């Protein structure tokens, strides 16, 4: 429906303009309010965004710090596990050494017991050695006395007993003679035929005789070289020595 200014009165036009102006002002106010609200909303949104970014950065920093701390803890945990493993190995080695030390100590105690026993045996051996040394001294004295007696007997012996190959021996020929004299007398029968002797004193005596010639060892000497008189005389002298305890 069209209308013209002629169909309205001036009052109606003025009222209509005023309404239009009111609507314009109201629209402007609403637009201003919307703009203000939008600005406030944008400002608040910006603050929220800034806060969110700051929080995100802080969270990232905290997460990174926590990650670094976790990695550090993991490294420390790994190091600690290695140290624990090394400590357990050292502890095991120490236990093995302790067991070995106990075994060595046991062996040492056994050896100490043996050593104590050996010391006791050593004391006995020393005592026995002292006894033997004393006995050896006594034997040496007896040997010296015997050598003196032998030397004296040798000096008093006749140079030979060649008559033992000629006539039978009598008791009077034997009485009063020492064991050494009788032994020399008996063995002169064998020495005449070249027999050697194991006893050094007897061999030394016959070596000093000019008529003696050593030919046969005691094992190789042939008894067939002896005459019957020589065999009988040797047997009688040996029997006399045994009966009277005059063996040399």
Q: Secondary structure of 139-167 in the HEC alphabet?
A: HHHHHHHHHHHHHHHHHHCCCCCHHHHCC
Reduce the DSSP state of residue 35 to 3 states and report it.
Answer: helix
Model pLDDT, residue 154: 46
pLDDT at 23 over 90: no
Q: Which CATH number fits domain 157-243: 3.30.930.10, 1.20.58.1690, 3.30.479.10, 3.40.630.10?
A: 1.20.58.1690
Joined together, the tokens standing for residue 4 give 């013209």
State the CB neighbour count (10 A cutoff) for residue 146: 16
Helix (H) or strand (E) holding 235: helix 228-243
Joined together, the tokens standing for residue 234 give 């040797």
* Residues 165/192, Cβ–Cβ less than 8 Å: yes
Burial class (CB in 10 A: 0-12, 13-18, 19+), 216: middle
* Residues 118/112, Cβ–Cβ less than 8 Å: no
Q: Any idea where the domains of the chain sit in the sequence?
A: 8-90, 157-243
* Residues 179/246, Cβ–Cβ less than 8 Å: yes
Model pLDDT, residue 74: 85
pLDDT digits (tens, 9 = 90+) for 66-119: 788 888 878 887 887 888 788 788 878 888 887 887 888 788 788 878 878 888
pLDDT digits (tens, 9 = 90+) for 40-76: 888 888 888 888 888 888 878 888 887 888 888 788 8
């Amino acid at each position: 429906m069209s209308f013209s200014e002629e169909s309205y009165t001036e009052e109606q036009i003025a009222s209509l303009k005023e309404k239009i102006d009111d609507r314009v002002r109201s629209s402007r106010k609403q637009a201003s309010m919307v703009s203000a609200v939008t600005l406030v909303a944008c400002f608040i949104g910006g603050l929220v965004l800034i806060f969110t970014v700051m929080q995100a950065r802080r969270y990232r920093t905290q997460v990174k710090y926590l990650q670094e701390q976790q990695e550090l803890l993991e490294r420390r945990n790994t190091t600690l596990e290695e140290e624990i493993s090394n400590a357990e190995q050292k502890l095991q080695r120490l236990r093995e050494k302790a067991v070995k030390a106990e075994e060595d100590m046991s062996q040492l105690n056994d050896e100490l017991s043996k050593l104590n026993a050996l010391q006791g045996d050593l004391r006995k051996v020393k005592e026995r050695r002292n006894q033997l040394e004393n006995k050896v001294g006594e034997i040496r004295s007896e040997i010296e006395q015997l050598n003196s007696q032998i030397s004296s007997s040798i000096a008093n012996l006749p140079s030979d007993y060649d008559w033992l190959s000629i006539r039978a021996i009598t008791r009077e020929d034997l009485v009063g003679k020492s064991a050494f004299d009788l032994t020399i007398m008996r063995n002169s029968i064998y020495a005449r035929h070249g027999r050697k002797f194991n006893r050094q004193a007897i061999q030394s005596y016959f070596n000093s005789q000019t008529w003696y010639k050593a030919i046969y060892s005691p094992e190789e000497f042939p008894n067939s070289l002896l005459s019957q008189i020589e065999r009988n005389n040797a047997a009688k002298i040996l029997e006399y020595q045994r009966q009277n305890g005059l063996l040399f």
